[in-house]
Amino acid sequence: MRVYLDNAATTPIDKEVLAVMFGIMENQYGNPSSIHAHGREVRSIVETARKTVAKLLNTSPAEIFFTSGGTEADNTAIRCGIHDHGITHAITSKIEHHAVGHTLEELEKKGVIKLSYVNIDSKGTVDYDHLEELLKNNERSFVSLMHANNEIGTLLDVERVGNLCEQYNALFHCDTVQTMGHYVHDLSKLKVHFIACAAHKLHGPKGVGFLYVNYHVKIKPFIYGGAQERNMRGGTENVYGIAGLAKALEIAYHEMDEHAQYVQGLKNYMKDQLTQNFTDVQFNGETDPAKSLYTVLNVSFPESDMGDMMLFNLDINGISASGGSACSSGSNIGSHVLTAIGTNPNRPSVRFSFCKYNTKEEIDFVIEKLKQIIPVTV
């Protein structure tokens, strides 16, 4: 038996999505920029997908731009938003995805911006009062905070941050890669200027995503070339991927309530089983289900010298998961997220992440294997 509990890294592709993509690969091969019939047919596929995404997010198709994934979407929003609006101050947190953190750090190194870090607590929750202080005491800011942390699952109050950004005339970029398709994003109500999506996080294909750019915000292209994506992103469109993304998001919205209830049940079951079978386990991040991404469970096991060997031992026992311990003093190896929230670096930590295809039987299998790996039990 092999159990896959690393869905926050990538998800299995949905068979309905595959069917849509294969159908296009076999029959619609024209270049969407060509003006002949073959090209027009494929252009229609791209624009239909754009309309599908926009309708689900309650926004205009003109605000959706297809990209190669979340990293490109984040980079485009950050680099172009800052450059094209002459912004010299940015605010983020120490637990952002590297697509955000490293991009902002690079801009700071080059002297483009001054970078401020909002305080977070031991659960990874943003200090909203401190965020307001940073907004109030600096010139116009660019704020980049993720909707749900990809390692510990702690959720951001996007509405509250959006309101603060509006109050202080800041641009707000929110990485929604982990939450797209798992929560409703009503962009007609959210006061956000940029959001990012990667299709492979919601049972779609790898190598495709989108960037939402609010129509009040004008930016220039990040990738120059042809006139694709309404002159916003050069390069022939990944037509199969775009169609697959739209289908995956459509399925996700259709199944959202059922999916959320089922996956939250798996997460709760695993928490209960871990607590019952092992001494001194700790759950990293926000434990309130209303404030935590239901697909992610980050666990620290009792202190040992196992470290990253925990993931290796899981792997050889048929379990795919990810995570790792916090960074040890003087070392750059480990999780920057767990380090930022003060997790004990001597505790081996694992991120288990779930999807609609996982079962309780798989979790039982994982618990039994963990009993063989970890010697200390109740």
| Residues labelled as active-site residues | 327
Classify residue 292 by its DSSP letter: B
Instruction: State phi, psi for 107 to the nearest 5 degrees.
Output: -65, -35
User: What are the C-alpha distances in Å from 313 to residues 267, 366, 374?
Assistant: 22, 12, 10
In whole angstroms, give the CA distance from residue 137 to residue 211. Answer: 29
Start-end of H helices in the chain? 15-27, 37-56, 70-75, 81-84, 98-109, 128-136, 158-167, 228-231, 239-277, 309-316, 336-340, 360-373
* Amino acid letter for position 117: Y
Using N-to-C axis directions, what is the helix angle for 360-373 and 239-277, rounded to 10°?
60
H runs (alpha helix) in 278-317: 309-316
**What 3-state DSSP class applies to 323?**
strand
What is d(CA 49, CA 52) in angstroms, rounded to the nearest whole number? 5
End-to-end CA distance of the chain: 26
On whether the CB atoms of residues 116 and 138 are closer than 8 A, the answer is yes
Distance CA 211, CA 221 (A): 12
Fill in the amino acid letter for 68: S
- Please give the distance of CA 269 from its chain centroid, rounded to a whole number: 24
List, in order, residues 6 or more apart from 357 with CB less than 8 Å away.
12
Give the HSE-up count for residue 288: Cα atoms under 13 Å, Cβ half-sphere: 7
